[in-house]
Amino acid sequence: MILRTERVHGGEQQGLILVLCAPSGTGKSTLVKRLLAEFPRFQFSVSCTTRKPRSGERDGVDYNFLSKETFLSMKEAGEFAEWAEVHGNFYGTPRGPVQDLLNQGKDVIFDIDVQGATQLRQSFPEGLYIFLLPPSRIELERRLRGRETDSEEAIARRLGNAAAELAEARHFDYWIVNDDLELAYDDLRAVYLAGRKKPVFRPTLLQTILRTFQ
Protein backbone atom coordinates (compact mmCIF):
# COMPACT_ATOMS: atom_id res chain seq x y z
CA MET A 1 0.00 0.00 0.00
CA ILE A 2 2.77 2.43 0.90
CA LEU A 3 4.59 1.53 -2.30
CA ARG A 4 1.49 2.12 -4.35
CA THR A 5 0.85 5.51 -2.70
CA GLU A 6 4.42 6.54 -3.42
CA ARG A 7 4.20 5.67 -7.09
CA VAL A 8 0.72 7.01 -7.72
CA HIS A 9 1.45 10.33 -6.08
CA GLY A 10 4.96 10.61 -7.50
CA GLY A 11 6.90 11.23 -4.31
CA GLU A 12 10.16 11.49 -6.27
CA GLN A 13 9.92 14.78 -8.12
CA GLN A 14 13.31 16.15 -7.10
CA GLY A 15 16.12 15.26 -9.50
CA LEU A 16 19.37 13.91 -8.07
CA ILE A 17 22.89 14.21 -9.31
CA LEU A 18 25.23 11.26 -9.67
CA VAL A 19 28.92 12.00 -10.20
CA LEU A 20 31.17 9.29 -11.58
CA CYS A 21 34.92 9.91 -11.42
CA ALA A 22 37.80 7.69 -12.48
CA PRO A 23 41.14 7.83 -14.23
CA SER A 24 40.71 8.04 -17.99
CA GLY A 25 40.18 4.59 -19.54
CA THR A 26 38.64 2.97 -16.44
CA GLY A 27 35.22 2.62 -18.05
CA LYS A 28 33.11 5.65 -17.05
CA SER A 29 31.59 6.29 -20.48
CA THR A 30 30.77 2.60 -20.89
CA LEU A 31 28.90 2.48 -17.57
CA VAL A 32 27.20 5.85 -18.09
CA LYS A 33 25.79 4.63 -21.41
CA ARG A 34 24.28 1.59 -19.71
CA LEU A 35 22.72 3.66 -16.95
CA LEU A 36 21.20 6.06 -19.50
CA ALA A 37 19.83 3.13 -21.51
CA GLU A 38 18.23 1.46 -18.48
CA PHE A 39 16.80 4.53 -16.71
CA PRO A 40 15.06 7.03 -18.98
CA ARG A 41 14.84 9.41 -16.04
CA PHE A 42 18.60 9.92 -16.30
CA GLN A 43 20.10 12.67 -18.44
CA PHE A 44 23.77 13.10 -19.16
CA SER A 45 25.34 16.44 -18.27
CA VAL A 46 27.01 17.38 -21.55
CA SER A 47 30.28 19.11 -20.70
CA CYS A 48 32.12 21.73 -22.68
CA THR A 49 35.69 20.96 -23.68
CA THR A 50 38.56 22.40 -25.68
CA ARG A 51 39.72 18.83 -26.53
CA LYS A 52 39.36 17.76 -30.16
CA PRO A 53 36.55 15.25 -30.84
CA ARG A 54 37.51 11.57 -31.00
CA SER A 55 36.19 9.54 -33.89
CA GLY A 56 32.52 8.77 -33.27
CA GLU A 57 32.02 11.60 -30.77
CA ARG A 58 29.18 13.98 -31.60
CA ASP A 59 29.13 17.69 -30.84
CA GLY A 60 26.30 18.52 -28.42
CA VAL A 61 25.88 14.85 -27.44
CA ASP A 62 29.20 13.64 -26.01
CA TYR A 63 30.59 17.12 -25.46
CA ASN A 64 30.15 20.68 -26.63
CA PHE A 65 33.45 21.07 -28.45
CA LEU A 66 34.61 24.68 -28.06
CA SER A 67 37.61 26.80 -28.99
CA LYS A 68 39.80 27.85 -26.10
CA GLU A 69 38.66 31.48 -26.57
CA THR A 70 34.97 30.58 -26.29
CA PHE A 71 35.61 28.38 -23.27
CA LEU A 72 37.56 31.08 -21.45
CA SER A 73 34.94 33.75 -22.13
CA MET A 74 32.21 31.44 -20.75
CA LYS A 75 34.38 30.84 -17.71
CA GLU A 76 34.83 34.60 -17.19
CA ALA A 77 31.06 35.08 -17.47
CA GLY A 78 30.54 32.54 -14.64
CA GLU A 79 28.64 30.12 -16.88
CA PHE A 80 30.25 26.97 -15.46
CA ALA A 81 29.04 25.16 -12.34
CA GLU A 82 32.58 23.74 -12.24
CA TRP A 83 35.54 23.64 -14.58
CA ALA A 84 39.07 22.24 -14.62
CA GLU A 85 42.13 21.77 -16.77
CA VAL A 86 42.59 18.03 -17.28
CA HIS A 87 45.31 16.32 -19.33
CA GLY A 88 46.14 19.68 -20.97
CA ASN A 89 42.59 20.60 -22.05
CA PHE A 90 39.81 22.64 -20.44
CA TYR A 91 36.57 20.97 -19.37
CA GLY A 92 33.50 22.49 -17.73
CA THR A 93 29.86 21.90 -16.83
CA PRO A 94 27.50 24.61 -18.04
CA ARG A 95 25.30 25.61 -15.10
CA GLY A 96 22.00 26.43 -16.86
CA PRO A 97 21.20 23.07 -18.48
CA VAL A 98 21.90 21.14 -15.25
CA GLN A 99 19.62 23.36 -13.20
CA ASP A 100 16.85 23.07 -15.84
CA LEU A 101 17.07 19.26 -15.80
CA LEU A 102 16.98 19.08 -12.00
CA ASN A 103 13.99 21.42 -11.90
CA GLN A 104 12.18 19.10 -14.32
CA GLY A 105 12.77 16.25 -11.87
CA LYS A 106 15.37 14.55 -14.08
CA ASP A 107 18.33 12.76 -12.57
CA VAL A 108 21.62 14.03 -13.96
CA ILE A 109 24.80 12.01 -14.39
CA PHE A 110 28.22 13.66 -14.57
CA ASP A 111 31.41 12.22 -16.02
CA ILE A 112 33.89 14.74 -14.63
CA ASP A 113 37.33 14.76 -13.06
CA VAL A 114 38.14 14.88 -9.33
CA GLN A 115 38.72 18.67 -9.26
CA GLY A 116 35.29 19.21 -10.82
CA ALA A 117 33.64 16.81 -8.37
CA THR A 118 35.08 18.76 -5.43
CA GLN A 119 33.67 22.02 -6.83
CA LEU A 120 30.29 20.47 -7.60
CA ARG A 121 29.96 19.12 -4.07
CA GLN A 122 29.92 22.71 -2.81
CA SER A 123 26.80 23.47 -4.87
CA PHE A 124 25.22 20.00 -4.63
CA PRO A 125 26.29 18.38 -1.33
CA GLU A 126 23.41 15.91 -1.48
CA GLY A 127 24.62 14.30 -4.74
CA LEU A 128 25.94 10.74 -5.07
CA TYR A 129 29.73 10.94 -5.49
CA ILE A 130 31.14 7.69 -6.84
CA PHE A 131 34.73 6.81 -7.64
CA LEU A 132 35.27 4.07 -10.18
CA LEU A 133 38.54 2.19 -9.67
CA PRO A 134 40.50 0.32 -12.33
CA PRO A 135 41.59 -3.13 -11.11
CA SER A 136 45.28 -2.38 -11.83
CA ARG A 137 47.66 -0.17 -13.78
CA ILE A 138 48.32 -2.87 -16.37
CA GLU A 139 44.62 -3.29 -17.05
CA LEU A 140 44.14 0.49 -17.26
CA GLU A 141 46.91 0.73 -19.85
CA ARG A 142 45.39 -2.17 -21.79
CA ARG A 143 42.00 -0.40 -21.87
CA LEU A 144 43.48 2.95 -22.91
CA ARG A 145 45.31 1.26 -25.78
CA GLY A 146 42.38 -1.00 -26.68
CA ARG A 147 40.12 2.03 -27.14
CA GLU A 148 42.33 3.11 -30.07
CA THR A 149 41.26 6.73 -29.74
CA ASP A 150 44.27 8.41 -28.18
CA SER A 151 47.82 9.07 -29.34
CA GLU A 152 50.75 7.46 -27.53
CA GLU A 153 51.47 10.85 -25.97
CA ALA A 154 47.87 11.21 -24.72
CA ILE A 155 47.92 7.65 -23.32
CA ALA A 156 51.18 8.31 -21.47
CA ARG A 157 49.83 11.54 -20.05
CA ARG A 158 46.56 9.91 -18.92
CA LEU A 159 48.39 6.98 -17.30
CA GLY A 160 50.83 9.40 -15.68
CA ASN A 161 47.94 11.28 -14.04
CA ALA A 162 46.11 8.15 -12.86
CA ALA A 163 47.92 7.62 -9.54
CA ALA A 164 47.31 11.22 -8.43
CA GLU A 165 43.62 10.87 -9.38
CA LEU A 166 43.35 7.59 -7.45
CA ALA A 167 44.78 9.33 -4.39
CA GLU A 168 41.65 11.54 -4.41
CA ALA A 169 39.31 8.54 -4.25
CA ARG A 170 39.19 8.81 -0.47
CA HIS A 171 37.04 11.96 -0.75
CA PHE A 172 34.23 10.04 -2.45
CA ASP A 173 31.17 8.41 -0.88
CA TYR A 174 31.27 5.15 -2.86
CA TRP A 175 34.00 3.04 -4.46
CA ILE A 176 33.22 0.67 -7.31
CA VAL A 177 35.93 -1.48 -8.90
CA ASN A 178 35.43 -1.90 -12.63
CA ASP A 179 36.95 -5.35 -12.99
CA ASP A 180 34.05 -7.34 -14.40
CA LEU A 181 31.78 -4.93 -16.28
CA GLU A 182 28.54 -6.71 -15.29
CA LEU A 183 29.42 -6.69 -11.58
CA ALA A 184 30.53 -3.05 -11.71
CA TYR A 185 27.26 -2.12 -13.40
CA ASP A 186 25.27 -3.99 -10.74
CA ASP A 187 27.12 -2.01 -8.05
CA LEU A 188 26.48 1.30 -9.80
CA ARG A 189 22.80 0.49 -10.20
CA ALA A 190 22.57 -0.46 -6.52
CA VAL A 191 24.12 2.83 -5.39
CA TYR A 192 21.77 4.79 -7.64
CA LEU A 193 18.64 2.92 -6.56
CA ALA A 194 19.54 3.26 -2.87
CA GLY A 195 20.40 6.96 -3.33
CA ARG A 196 16.99 7.55 -4.90
CA LYS A 197 15.43 6.48 -1.60
CA LYS A 198 17.00 9.38 0.34
CA PRO A 199 14.34 11.66 1.84
CA VAL A 200 15.94 14.73 0.23
CA PHE A 201 14.92 13.43 -3.22
CA ARG A 202 11.33 12.64 -2.15
CA PRO A 203 10.01 15.99 -1.01
CA THR A 204 6.29 15.17 -1.12
CA LEU A 205 6.22 11.51 -0.12
CA LEU A 206 5.87 11.82 3.64
CA GLN A 207 3.23 14.55 3.42
CA THR A 208 1.25 12.42 1.00
CA ILE A 209 1.22 9.50 3.41
CA LEU A 210 0.63 11.66 6.51
CA ARG A 211 -2.42 13.18 4.82
CA THR A 212 -4.06 9.74 4.80
CA PHE A 213 -3.83 9.78 8.64
CA GLN A 214 -5.82 12.99 9.03
- Per CB under 6 A, 22 contacts ligand ADP: yes
- Per CB under 6 A, 26 contacts ligand ADP: yes
The site partner of 145 among ligand ADP, ligand 5GP, none (C-beta below 5 to 8 Å per kind) is none
- Per CB under 6 A, 115 contacts ligand 5GP: yes
- Per CB under 6 A, 46 contacts ligand ADP: no
Q: Which is nearer to ligand 5GP, 154 or 209 (CB)?
A: 154
Task: Kindly report the backbone phi and psi dihedral angles of residue 60, in degrees, each rounded to the nearest multiple of 5, phi listed first.
Answer: 90, -10
The site partner of 109 among ligand ADP, ligand 5GP, none (C-beta below 5 to 8 Å per kind) is none
- Per CB under 6 A, 116 contacts ligand 5GP: yes
Give which of 127, 142, 126 is closest to 25, Cα–Cα. Answer: 142
Give the separation between CA 133 and CA 31, rounded to whole angstroms.
12
- Per CB under 6 A, 146 contacts ligand ADP: yes
Q: Which is nearer to ligand ADP, 56 or 199 (CB)?
A: 56
- Per CB under 6 A, 112 contacts ligand 5GP: yes
Q: Which stretch binds ligand 5GP (CB under 6 A): 3-11, 113-121, 140-148, 198-206?
A: 113-121
CB of 2 to ligand ADP, least distance (A): 37
- Per CB under 6 A, 92 contacts ligand 5GP: yes
CB of 11 to ligand ADP, least distance (A): 33
Residue at shortest CB range from ligand 5GP = 116
The site partner of 93 among ligand ADP, ligand 5GP, none (C-beta below 5 to 8 Å per kind) is ligand 5GP
Give residues with Cβ within 8 angstroms of 16, minimum separation 6: 107, 108, 126, 127, 128, 195, 196, 198, 201
Give the separation between CA 113 and CA 194, rounded to whole angstroms.
24
The binding site for ligand ADP (CB under 6 A) comprises 22, 24-30, 143, 146-147, 178, 181, 184
